[in-house]
């Protein structure tokens, strides 16, 4: 497929990101497992732990995609709790739904929502999470202010994201892996532009310290972050 990767700053950015995820939904999980040697699920488990949910509580997983983090949250809130997995790609949501049904998880609902304009009331959830979604948002401050708005006071936010390492030898490994190998894998998966977009989107996203500053500006407190996988993955958290 010879599509052009979405470019941040373009007026059509959100729409292009949306159709790109519609297009790659069928290969998305498999590509994640291959690109991360299966580690991506461990990182999502850590994000789910970070928001410290209790049985019976509620959580919102934004940019939920095929639903893996939402399902990890569902385990933590148990059958009395409630999890909403929200995304603006219908094909991704359909796959998430099938997954939840296959696992017999009833306390999670997947629904269409734009992270930049959430259809939920103020102070609705005990926790909000977003994994590998924040760097796709056309307006990060707007997204963070929506996350803050729908969290209950005292509720936690966790953001899991790829981050660009600044130190050697990881920085060179990052270039080799994301600029050369990932687009090649994308070609085999049938959509090279989507996997050319991936390294571009990481580069145009704030580094770990700058993301923490954005969270602070949105009103979050007790902000901290952990770097994983040799500083390529960052897990940020904060409290409303
Ligand atoms: C890289 S995937 C991450 C999916 C999942 N959270 C995971 O951990 O694999 C990014 C997801 O964000 C969604 N997305 C991007 N921008 C969005 C927005 N403004 N509102 C809702 N979903 C959005 C895309 O449709 C896609 O499913």
In a structure prediction context, what are the per-residue pLDDT tens digits for the chain, which is 240 residues long? 447 888 887 778 899 899 888 988 988 898 888 888 889 999 999 999 999 999 999 999 999 999 999 999 999 999 999 999 999 999 999 999 999 999 999 999 999 999 999 999 999 999 999 999 999 999 999 999 999 999 999 999 999 999 988 788 878 888 888 888 888 887 877 777 888 888 888 889 999 999 999 999 999 999 999 999 888 899 999 999
Helix runs in 36-167, H state only: 40-50, 68-77, 90-102, 140-150
Total tally of structural domains belonging to the chain: 1
Question: Which residues approach ligand 1 with their CB closer than 6 A?
Answer: 14, 17, 21, 44, 63-65, 68-69, 87-89, 92, 114-116, 131-133, 136-137
Atom of ligand 1 nearest to the CA of 67: 5
Structure letter (DSSP) for residue 114 = B
Peptide bond into 35 cis (omega under 30): no
CATH number at residue 50: 3.40.50.150
Nearest-CA residue for ligand 1 atom 13 is 63
| pTM of structure | 0.94
Residue 182 inside a domain? The answer is: no
| Residue span of the structural domain in which 88 resides | 13-163+206-239
Residue 179 inside a domain? The answer is: no
Q: Which element (helix H / strand E) includes 62?
A: strand 58-62
CA of 172 to the centre of ligand 1 (A): 27
Helix (H, G, I), strand (E, B) or coil at 77: helix
Residue 170 inside a domain? The answer is: no
Q: Are 130 and 160 in contact (CB under 8 A)?
A: yes
The whole-angstrom separation of Cα 127 and Cα 121 is 14
């Amino acid at each position: 497929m010879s599509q052009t990767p979405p470019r941040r700053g373009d007026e059509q950015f959100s729409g292009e990101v949306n159709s790109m995820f519609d297009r790659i939904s069928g290969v998305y999980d498999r590509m994640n497992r291959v690109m991360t040697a299966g580690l991506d699920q461990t990182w999502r488990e850590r994000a789910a732990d970070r928001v410290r949910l209790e049985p019976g509580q509620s959580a919102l997983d934004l940019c939920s995609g095929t639903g893996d983090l939402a399902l990890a949250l569902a385990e933590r809130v148990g059958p009395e709790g409630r999890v909403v997995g929200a995304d603006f790609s219908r094909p991704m949501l359909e796959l998430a739904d099938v997954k939840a049904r296959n696992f017999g998880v009833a306390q999670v609902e997947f629904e269409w929502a734009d992270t930049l304009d959430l259809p939920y009331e103020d102070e609705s959830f005990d926790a909000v999470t977003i994994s590998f979604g924040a760097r796709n948002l056309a307006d990060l401050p707007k997204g963070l202010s929506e996350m803050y708005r729908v969290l209950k006071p005292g509720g936690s936010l966790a953001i899991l994201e790829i981050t660009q390492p600044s130190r050697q030898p990881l920085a060179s490994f990052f270039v080799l892996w994301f600029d050369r190998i990932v687009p090649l894998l994308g070609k085999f998966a049938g959509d090279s532009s989507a996997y050319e977009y991936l390294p571009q989107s990481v580069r145009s996203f704030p580094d770990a310290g700058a993301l923490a500053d954005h969270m602070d500006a949105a009103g979050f407190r007790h902000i901290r972050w952990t770097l994983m996988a040799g500083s390529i993955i960052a897990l940020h958290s904060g409290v409303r």
